[in-house]
Amino acid sequence: MNLLSNLISGLSLGSVYAIIALGYTMVYGISKMLNFAHGDVIMIGGYISFVMTVYLGMNGWVGLLIAIVTCTCLGVLIERLAYRPLRGTGSLAVLITAIGVSYFLQNVALLIWGANPKMFTSLFDGVKALRLAGGKLVVSPESLFTIAANIIVMIVLTLFVNKTKAGKAMRAVSEDNGAAQLMGINVNQSISLTFAIGSGLAAVAGVLMCSAYPVLTPTTGSMPGIKAFTAAVFGGIGSIPGAMIGGLILGIIEIFARAYVSTELADAIVFACLIIVLLVKPTGLLGKKVSEKV
């Protein structure tokens, strides 16, 4: 029973990582850049939703929608202002800019909302937890919904990328930027669209994460951001199913390491697993091996 309960915790945490990791992996896949500000977009999503529901008294789901819209705009704006001007200048410049954007967002949040933590009201406030096996196994509605949302998002995204025209364009840009442009694909538009989707997902992840773990501070997004980035690398960065599998495995390893090995060593174990996977399969679990053509 304990095992099952830990497994559910792991799946729930892993689903949060997976949704965040999708943002990393999509952006990396199409523009070959690591968007380290992604974790902080999650935090902004959390705060926007908090403001809508607690200050303005809106319904949690309306708050979620507004957070998605805001974060989508924010993501597109960040790409337009901070990353696009640097495209073609080498990956290091963009990487440093992304770290800069990350600190910028954290400090803006600090200025607006202050350092004192805010307690997020769960989307499922008042919904009773599921009690199975005579109350021994407690499954919170947050866990169930997070896991379900993860699966839905995964399926919709895979369909979108594989079946729609815009998705096809994104894949083309991801495979060969220059050739795609020659074929008449609007590369800028495709990249903007990727950022929009990734940031919208960040808002969903932010609200789900804060529903399960309600303490909201300006640095709320940074550690999950790093863990999700790890998950994306774990699963093979650039691969959508890889991000999901990586996220779930990472969440489960983390919870199991805490439950059965040691709470002191949990993070060390998570990252040790990452190193081992990368040693054995450098492209990650589902990563494609890209051979350089001469």
Partner 1 sequence: MKTKFTKFMAAALAAVMAFALAACGGGGSGEGGDAVLKIGSTGPLTGPAAIYGNAVKNGGQLAVDEINAANADGIQLSWQAEDDEHDPEKAVNAYNTLMDSGMQILVGPTTSAPAVAVAEKADADRVFTLTPSASQAAVTEGHDNVYQLCFNDPNQGTAAAQYILANMKDKKVGVIYQQNDYSQGIYEKFKAEYEGAGNKIVATEAFAKDDEKDFTAQLNSMKNAGADLVFVPIYYTPAANILTQADKMGYNPTFFGVDGMDGILTAENFDAKLAEGVMLLTPFVASAEDEATQKFVKAYVDAYGEEPNQFAADAYDCVYAIYNAFKETGLDASASTEEICDAMIKVFNGGFTSSGITGEEMKWNENGEVDKTPKACVIENGVYVQK
Helix (H) or strand (E) holding 6: helix 2-31
Nearer to partner 1, 223 or 272 (CB): 223
Q: What angle do CA 190, 44, 174 make, to 5 degrees?
A: 20
Q: Which stretch in 73-81, 177-185, 198-206, 215-223 sits in contact with partner 1 by CB under 8 A?
A: 215-223
C-alpha 137/C-alpha 74 separation (Å) is 40
| 214 binds partner 1, rule: CB under 8 A | yes
Question: Which parts of 33-62 interact with partner 1 (CB under 8 A)?
Answer: 50, 54
Quick one: which of 158, 181, 188, 219 contacts partner 1 (CB under 8 A)?
219
Instruction: Name residue 130's beta-bridge partners.
Output: 139
Residue 9 Cβ vs partner 1, minimum distance, rounded to whole Å: 4
Q: Are 219 and 108 in contact (CB under 8 A)?
A: no
| 119 binds partner 1, rule: CB under 8 A | yes
| 237 binds partner 1, rule: CB under 8 A | no
Which residues does 101 contact at the CB level (< 8 Å), separation at least 6? 36, 37, 40, 78, 82
How many CA atoms does the CB half-sphere of 50 hold within 13 Å? 22
* DSSP helix/strand/coil, 215: strand
Residue 134 Cβ vs partner 1, minimum distance, rounded to whole Å: 12
Provide the binding-site residues for partner 1, judged by CB under 8 A.
2, 5-6, 9, 13, 50, 54, 116-121, 129, 131, 135, 138, 140, 142, 209, 212-215, 217, 219-220, 222-224, 254-255, 258-259, 263-264, 266-267
